[in-house]
Structure 1
């Protein structure tokens, strides 16, 4: 009986230690007049005040690099305008939620090309 209690306790502790945060959702690149803003929403059940990690890659290299997000809005957007500086390049970004002890999986955007996917600004 003691062995069974130890196993149950171990399984419960292991599940707590291995718990992961919900993945971010609705991850998109919103681009207007060649200003590229990565936006996302927290996954269902994500704790308030979450921190996020953002990475990007471009077509041929296929190597992910971390982005330092400046001017974040509520920690749920990242300006990638300077990162996506080749208007003919093809890019992808990804986001994950992080704490000191937990992290979510990555959620990736679709491929993005500034020259063909940035909406123009219309003047009145």
Structure 2
């Protein structure tokens, strides 16, 4: 890749962050397997390097609660938190880069015992 193309890509990524337009994670999915509840996602479109993520979850009867914070993995095991196998859950995630925050992206709803 030429130096000009690399410089353009780097500049575009930095401009998106400087302008406050940090893109949200994509393909946010909440899955249950063997009664474990895992929230996963893909990188935001055109994401710069160095992103971390924060996640939250809620049941049908509670407000969003913090889960994994400032992680670099593209998944969070919500089973480590106070989860009932009979609850109906939704997760959400946002990207972080320094003081910049993307909008939250919500997952599907799921019941772990189904």
Structure in which a larger fraction of residues adopt strand: 2
Q: Displacement of 1:29 after TM fit?
A: 1.4
Q: Name 2:23's counterpart in structure 1.
A: 22
The alignment of Structure 1 onto Structure 2 pairs a total of residues equal to: 98
Q: Displacement of 1:37 after TM fit?
A: 1.4
Q: Name 1:120's counterpart in structure 2.
A: none
SS in 1 for 2:101: coil
Q: Name 2:48's counterpart in structure 1.
A: 47
Unaligned regions of 5+ residues in structure 1, if any?
1-14, 117-124
TM-score for the superposition, normalised by structure 1: 0.69
Matched, 1:68 2:68: yes
SS in 2 for 1:44: coil
- CA displacement 1:36-64 (0-9 Å, x = unmatched): 21110011111123110101111112x11
Matched, 1:107 2:105: yes
Larger Rg over CA atoms: 1
Q: Name 1:97's counterpart in structure 2.
A: 95
Q: Displacement of 1:101 after TM fit?
A: 2.1
User: Following superposition, which runs of at least 4 residues in structure 1 exceed 3 angstroms of deviation?
Assistant: 15-18
Q: Displacement of 1:20 after TM fit?
A: 2.1
Quickly say closer, same or farther: Cα 1:18–1:82, change in 2 above 3 A.
same
Unaligned regions of 5+ residues in structure 2, if any?
1-15
Matches of 1:18 and 1:105, distance apart in 2: 14
Matches of 1:54 and 1:21, distance apart in 2: 16
Quickly say closer, same or farther: Cα 1:87–1:80, change in 2 above 3 A.
same
Matches of 2:49 and 2:26, distance apart in 1: 15
